[in-house]
Every structure is written in C-alpha cells, then in structure tokens.
Amino acid sequence: MYAVIMAGGKGTRFWPKSREKMPKHLLDIVSPMTIIQETVERIAPLIPEENILIVTGQSHAEELMRQVPRIPQENIIIEPLGRNTAPCIGLAALHIKRKSPHDVMVVLPADHLITDAPRFRQLLSIAADMASRGDYLVTIGIRPTSPETGYGYIEKGDLKAGINGENIYAVKSIREKPALKQAKAFLKKGGFYWNSGMFVWNVDTILGAIEKWLPQIHDGLLHIEDATGTDGEKEALRRVYQTIPSISIDYGVMEKADNILLIEGDFGWSDMGSWDALWEVSDKDENGNAANCRELFVGVDAKNSLIHSPRKLVALLGVEDLIVVDTEDSLLICKRGSSQDVKKVVEILEDKKKKEYL
C-alpha cells in the first residue's frame, strides 16, 4: 500500500499566519508539530515511510523536506505549477506505477485534523481491502453536523459490502459545494455525507478513470511517463503542466464515475479550513475563549473568541465572538464566522502589490 499526501496551497485561509511560502500544512497551528508532520506521523504505523509520497510546489519543497526528513527525497514530487487535484493525483499514480503498478494508493490532503488516529488507520485498511477487490474508487465521507456550504457532499446508495463490521455503500451522487438552502435540504433528507477529499483506489483504476474522463490530462501523463528517467524529464513535466487543464478529481472524475464506494469516517475529522474551524476544535476556557499566547491572555467579560498571539500578551475587554491573530508584521481582527473571507484581504493585498505581506 502507498500513500499520496497532497501538499499544495497558497496560504490564504490562515493569513496572516500562513503565507505563500509557508502555507497552513507547514505551520504548527494545532500542536508543537506542523500539520504535515502530524499527517505523516498519523499514517506511518500503517504505511512505511518509503511508500509515502508527497506532492508539493517548488516554493514549498525545501521547507517540506526539512520538516519530514525521513521521507525519501525521491518521494517528494514537485509540480512546476498548481493544477488542482486531478493532475496531482495522476502524477503521483505514475510514480507508484513504476514501482508497483497494481498496488493500492491512499490519497490524503496534507492539512486535515484527525483526533482518533487508530480509528483512522483502521478505516483506511478496510477501504484499501475493498479497493483491492475490484475496480472501485473508494471515498471517505464524514457524517455532517451542520449545513456546511464549504464542503462537497456525497449521497449514499445501497449497501455494497461489509468488511470487519464496517459497512461500505455504493454512491448515488457527488455534489458540488451547495448553497445554504440546498445544504439544509441534504441534512433534512439524510444519507448525505461531507466529502473529505480522501480516497483509496488501485493505481491502474485511477489512471483508467483519468484516461476515460480526463483524456487531455491522461495524454499529458503519457508524455511525462515517456520522459521519466531521461534528461528531458523536468522539461516534459514543465511543458505538460503548462497545457493541461486545472481541475479537481471530484469534478473531473468522481462526479462522472459509476464505480464509487463510500465508507463513513468517524475519527474526529476537521479540514481545518479557517480560523473559525480552529476555534471549533481548540480547547477553551470557561468563557469559551481559545487562546494561544506567548505570555498570557487576559479576558475581562470576553467570550467565545480565538486568540493566536505567540509573541505578545493579549487582553480583551467586553467583547465576544472575535478572532484575533497577531504576527510579526500583521494583525487580523474579525468576527467569528467571517474568517472564510480572509481570502478577500489577501486579494486586496495582491491588487495593491503588497508582496511583503503575502
């Protein structure tokens, strides 16, 4: 079994802590370890480090290698351009194909939080068992707790199989991120799960699906494969990535395929997609404040706020539902519930050519 960790990103959702050269997965936001280190540690008991591949961008590669030195350098796959998840997964599948063309590959984002690692590994093993039994694209769904509009949704179909007491279902449909009204309808109807972006399949199965549904990307992968191991490998990779479409595996393959299976992931999952998500999963004091301050946090009639200030003391007085993030050169203050709009700040900084803050 192999694992592919997708470690791209521009560092916008956790601005000002994250930046273009230090996106979320390279930061120690949740624990003393960085998020990518936690991701590798989480799967290491199940998948040997020589079978863990990480796909990243050129600007992040050096720092990533420094953070996970036990991953062989040849397993760090560097994309010349960000082209979303379908090319990323296809490129990783090519690398695994050279070593073990019919093996199972687990695809994981680099920046998720999972609180029950043993349960996570158990379900990955079951998903891998199912994937090895046939031409299946196995996805892990999260039972929704709210009508979240920031996730795609997976609609559960009929029971397909049972392995070690875990049910595996056919998938009726995969839906794009919905409007709030539609998300509420999904929850009311039942049988819908959040799309976690985690997948398990055989290498030849996913390459076959890309060939069927994304022929332009598959043609590009063939050119890369032909050049692999030659002096022209890097140039072929660069040339192909300049021409292939930027498309997600969900939109490009999963929404079209009819061989998708679902297993429910009940292992304490968060995609850590915003400062609001960090508040949700953080330990809080008796007033609902989650504080990470170098010296001290002082709250006087302050409630339900997130305070991230590793360099200085922060005091809040008579306020609630705030997010306060202090860094060496920037300060973010916003209402809790609005942190998804941090990307708008980044867009303004880009327009104003303030590269030093990006």
Q: Across the beta sheet with 331-335, what order do the strands follow?
A: 290-293, 306-309, 322-326, 331-335
Please state, in angstroms and rounded to a whole number, the distance separating the CA atoms of residues 3 and 107. 6
Paired sense of beta strands 52-57 and 2-7, if any: parallel
pLDDT for res 159: 96
- pTM, 2 dp: 0.92
SS3 call for 283: coil
Please state, in angstroms and rounded to a whole number, the distance separating the CA atoms of residues 20 and 15. 9
Contact 27, 21 (CB under 8 A): no
pLDDT for res 201: 98
Residues of the chain with pLDDT below 50 are: none
pLDDT tens across 195-240, in order? 999 999 999 999 999 999 999 999 999 999 999 888 899 999 999 9
pLDDT for res 218: 97
pLDDT for res 20: 87
pLDDT for res 325: 95
Assign domain 2-270 to its CATH architecture: Alpha-Beta Complex (3.90)
CA angle 63, 67, 68 (to 5 degrees): 120
Residues 6+ apart with CB under 8 A from 274: 13, 14, 339, 340, 342
pLDDT for res 322: 97
pLDDT for res 349: 94
The string of DSSP letters for 111-164 reads S-EES-HHHHHHHHHHHHHHHTTSS-EEEEEE--SS--SSS-EEEEEEEEEEET
pLDDT for res 13: 85
pLDDT for res 281: 87
First and final C-alpha spacing in the chain: 38
Residue extents of the structural domains in the chain: 2-270, 275-357
pLDDT for res 144: 94
Contact 36, 65 (CB under 8 A): no
pLDDT for res 30: 81
pLDDT for res 126: 97
